[in-house]
């Protein structure tokens, strides 16, 4: 069997044929370069998008941390305030042992939007003076009624200035203990 070589029939002059072959190779190389350029641009777009997303997340995370630190600082201050109040209450209980039994009643009746600023006990006449700040007149009246209903309270005195309206108004109550307690 004889192998026949493929013969090419070219009617173009050799110089022109070479130019067409070179043009064909250059055209193919151009296509390959364009595809490589598009692939490179796609990779760059993915990298840039990833970087922007990470940057955005880190910025929001940093902002959240900064906000969290502010909240954390507020929480730390709140804990310190509660600790100071607990220490004052413990010192008051030691100093006024006779009134120690009544202190939980006074604090338990306290509504959430009333804040005590002072609590004192006079051993001579057995009076308990409560001072604080209120934001709601209704809460103040409810606290007054709750104090009047305590079993050891004979009477409660409340000055008229307690019923002044306005944000963060102060109040004072004087509780008189029943005799024999």
Give the pLDDT band (50/70/90) at residue 63.
Answer: low
d(CA 36, CA 43) in angstroms, rounded, equals 10
Q: Where are the beta strands (DSSP E) in 5-151?
A: 114-122, 127-134
Domain boundaries, position 104: 97-177
Do residue 80 and residue 118 come from a single domain?
no
pLDDT value, residue 97: 67
Cβ atoms 140, 171 nearer than 8 A: yes
Listed residues 50, 68, 95: the one ending a domain = 95
Do residue 155 and residue 82 come from a single domain?
no
The CATH number covering residue 138 comes to 3.30.1360.100
Per the DSSP assignment, residues forming a β-bridge with 127 are 122, 176
pLDDT value, residue 37: 92
Pick from 98, 96, 123, 111: nearest CA to 147: 111
The mean pLDDT value for 41-52 works out to: 85
The answer for residues whose C-beta is within 8 angstroms of residue 11's C-beta and 6 or more apart is none
Listed residues 61, 95, 129: the one ending a domain = 95
Do residue 78 and residue 139 come from a single domain?
no
Do residue 105 and residue 116 come from a single domain?
yes
Residue 175 predicted with pLDDT over 80: yes
Q: Residue 3: inside a domain, yes or no?
A: no
Give the pLDDT band (50/70/90) at residue 32.
Answer: very high
d(CA 106, CA 156) in angstroms, rounded, equals 12
pLDDT value, residue 36: 92
Burial grade of 109 (CB within 10 A; 0-12, 13-18, 19 or more): middle
d(CA 147, CA 154) in angstroms, rounded, equals 10
Q: Residue 63: inside a domain, yes or no?
A: yes
Q: Where are the beta strands (DSSP E) in the chain?
A: 114-122, 127-134, 153-157, 169-177
Count of helix runs (H) and strand runs (E) in the chain = 3, 4
Strand-by-strand arrangement of the 169-177 sheet: 114-122, 127-134, 169-177, 153-157
Cβ atoms 86, 103 nearer than 8 A: no
Number of domains in the chain: 2
pLDDT value, residue 85: 77
Q: Residue 151: inside a domain, yes or no?
A: yes
The predicted model scores a pTM of: 0.48
Listed residues 58, 73, 95: the one ending a domain = 95
pLDDT value, residue 107: 82
Do residue 91 and residue 125 come from a single domain?
no
Encode pLDDT of 91-102 as tens digits.
767 776 666 677
pLDDT value, residue 66: 61
Q: Residue 148: inside a domain, yes or no?
A: yes
Encode pLDDT of 90-139 as tens digits.
776 777 666 667 777 888 888 888 888 888 888 788 788 889 888 888 88
Do residue 101 and residue 88 come from a single domain?
no
Q: Residue 6: inside a domain, yes or no?
A: no
pLDDT value, residue 91: 79
Do residue 44 and residue 83 come from a single domain?
yes
Give the pLDDT band (50/70/90) at residue 59.
Answer: confident
Q: Residue 34: inside a domain, yes or no?
A: yes
Do residue 47 and residue 107 come from a single domain?
no
Do residue 75 and residue 101 come from a single domain?
no
d(CA 163, CA 76) in angstroms, rounded, equals 34
Residue 67 predicted with pLDDT over 80: no
Q: Residue 5: inside a domain, yes or no?
A: no
Specify the DSSP class assigned to residue 163: G
Average pLDDT, the chain: 80
Rounded percentage of the chain residues whose pLDDT exceeds 90: 8
């Amino acid at each position: 069997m004889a192998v026949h070589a493929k013969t090419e029939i070219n009617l173009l002059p050799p110089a022109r044929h070479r130019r067409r072959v070179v043009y064909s190779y250059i055209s193919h190389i151009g296509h390959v370069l364009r595809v490589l350029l598009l692939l490179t641009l796609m990779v760059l777009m993915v990298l840039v998008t990833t970087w922007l997303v990470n940057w955005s997340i880190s910025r929001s995370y940093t902002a959240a941390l900064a906000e969290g630190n502010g909240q954390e600082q507020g929480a730390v201050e709140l804990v310190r305030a509660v600790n100071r109040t607990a220490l004052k209450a413990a010192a008051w209980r030691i100093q006024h042992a006779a009134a120690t039994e009544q202190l939980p009643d006074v604090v338990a009746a306290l509504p959430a939007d009333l804040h005590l600023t002072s609590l004192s006990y006079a051993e001579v006449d057995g009076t308990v003076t409560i001072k604080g700040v209120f934001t709601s007149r209704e809460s103040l009246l409810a606290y007054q009624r709750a104090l009047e209903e305590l079993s050891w309270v004979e009477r409660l005195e409340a000055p008229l200035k307690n019923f002044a309206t306005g944000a963060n108004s102060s109040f004072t109550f004087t509780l008189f203990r029943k005799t024999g307690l």
